[in-house]
Structure 1
Amino acid sequence: MKKHKIDLFTLFCYIITLFVLCFIGGIVCIIIFRGGYVFAEHLKDRETLFATWMSVKTALISSILCFFVAIPTGYVLTHLPVPFRGSVEAVLELTMTLPYIVIGLSLLILFSTPAGKALKSAGLPFVFHQNGIVMAQLAVNLPFAIKLAVMAFQGVNRKLEAVAGLLGASRFQQFRTIILPLCKNTLISSFILIWSRALGEFGATLMLVGVTRMKTETLPGNIYLNVSTNQIDGALASAFLLLILAAFSLFISHLVTRTDWRKQRYE
Structure 2
Amino acid sequence: MRNRSGGGWFPLFCALLALTALGLVGSNVAVIAVRGFHSLPACLTQPEVRFALGLSVKSACISTALCFLLAIPTAYTLTRSVFPGRRAAEIVLELTMSLPYIVLGLSMLILFSSPAGKWLKEAGFPVVFHQNGVILAQLIVNLPFAVRLCSAAFQGADRKLECVAGLLGASPAQQFLTVLLPLSRNALISAVILVWSRALGEFGATLMLVGVTRMKTETLPGSIYLAVSTNNLDAALASAFLLLVISALSLTAANLLGRTGKQRSRYV
* Both structures adopt the same fold (TM-score exceeding 0.5): yes
CA deviations on 1:148-204 (whole Å, 9 max, x unpaired) are: 111111111111111111111100000011100000000000110000001110000
Query: Within 1, Cα distance between the matches of 2:6 and 2:217?
Result: 57
Q: Is the 8 A contact 1:130 1:209 kept in 2?
A: yes
Q: Is the 8 A contact 1:59 1:198 kept in 2?
A: yes
Query: Within 2, Cα distance between the matches of 1:229 and 1:8?
Result: 50
Q: State the Cα distance separating 1:263 from its structure 2 match.
A: 1.8
CA deviations on 1:189-245 (whole Å, 9 max, x unpaired) are: 011000000111000000000000000000000000000001011100100111111
Correspondence list, 1:64-143, <5 A: 64-143=65-144
1:189 and 2:194 aligned: no
Query: Within 1, Cα distance between the matches of 2:87 and 2:262?
Result: 31
In structure 1, stretches of 5+ residues that fail to align are none
For normalisation by structure 2, the TM-score amounts to 0.96
1:96 partner SS: helix
Q: State the Cα distance separating 1:84 from its structure 2 match.
A: 2.0
CA deviations on 1:38-59 (whole Å, 9 max, x unpaired) are: 1111122111000000001101
Q: State the Cα distance separating 1:266 from its structure 2 match.
A: 3.7
Matching residue's letter, 2:120: L
Residue matched to 1:152 = 153
Residue matched to 1:55 = 56
Residue matched to 2:249 = 248
Query: Within 2, Cα distance between the matches of 1:5 and 1:142?
Result: 49
In structure 2, stretches of 5+ residues that fail to align are none
Matching residue's letter, 1:124: F
Q: State the Cα distance separating 1:257 from its structure 2 match.
A: 1.5
Correspondence list, 1:40-51, <5 A: 40-51=41-52
Q: Is the 8 A contact 1:76 1:82 kept in 2?
A: no
Q: State the Cα distance separating 1:5 from its structure 2 match.
A: 4.4
Residue matched to 2:8 = 7
Matching residue's letter, 2:22: L
Matching residue's letter, 1:209: V
Q: State the Cα distance separating 1:87 from its structure 2 match.
A: 1.2
Matching residue's letter, 2:214: R
1:214 and 2:209 aligned: no
Residue matched to 2:262 = 261
For normalisation by structure 1, the TM-score amounts to 0.97
Query: Within 1, Cα distance between the matches of 2:195 and 2:142?
Result: 7
State, as a whole percentage, how many aligned pairs show the same letter: 60
Query: Within 2, Cα distance between the matches of 1:82 and 1:184?
Result: 26
2:231 partner SS: coil
Matching residue's letter, 2:98: T
Query: Within 2, Cα distance between the matches of 1:172 and 1:83?
Result: 22
Q: Is the 8 A contact 1:128 1:209 kept in 2?
A: yes
Matching residue's letter, 1:108: L
Residue matched to 1:231 = 232
Query: Within 2, Cα distance between the matches of 1:99 and 1:92?
Result: 13
